Amino acid sequence: MTLTVPIIRLPHARDLPLPAYATAQAAGLDLLAALAAEQSLAPGARLAVPTGIALALPPGYEGQVRPRSGLALSAGLTVLNSPGTIDADYRGEVMVLLINLGSEPAAIRRGLRIAQLVVAPCCTVRWEDRGSDLEASPRGAGGFGSTGLGTD
């Protein structure tokens, strides 16, 4: 399935390529850092990194900003609010909130692939208040986090 999504390059990113898939079967498009100058991210520090793009996702879709495994392994960098969500009605610049969980400072340079963007369908919820009765299930009210731990 292919979805057409309107996108613009902001003035500070006109020289950078648009987000792209690294391989034919990749789920996420690589997002690039649109920084004016290289920045060093100290261990434990966080930084909102601009990507230089703005999107118009169609209703019923969201953008999920996810970490890149290679960047996490090599530099300890990950997306702090992972996955970050881009709502269909948001029209501002896509930003990536990076955190350095490594033990050394990490260099964030212009054009670095900093995260992945996965565009996915999402639904809206209409609550049906049932008072105090929910449909029974085999698990029931089994403890939060208790499945698969061998403690049952």
List pLDDT tens digits, range 48-87: 999 999 999 999 999 999 999 999 999 999 999 999 999 9
Residue 50: asked if its preceding bond is cis (omega within 30°), the reply is no
Assigned architecture for domain 8-120: Distorted Sandwich (2.70)
Q: What residue ranges do the domains of the chain occupy?
A: 8-120
- Which secondary structure element, helix H or strand E, spans residue 75, and what is its range? helix 69-75
For residues 128-150, average pLDDT = 79
The number of CA neighbours under 13 Å toward the Cβ of 57 is 22
How many CA atoms lie within 13 Å of 96's alpha carbon, on the beta-carbon side?
Answer: 30
> Would the pLDDT of 3 be above 70?
yes
According to the model, what pLDDT value does residue 152 have? 47
Is residue 149 over pLDDT 80? no
Residue 145 has pLDDT above 80, yes or no: no
- pTM of this prediction? 0.88
Peptide bond into 83 cis (omega under 30): yes
Residue 22 · residue 118 · CB < 8 Å: no
Is residue 146 pLDDT above 90, yes or no? no
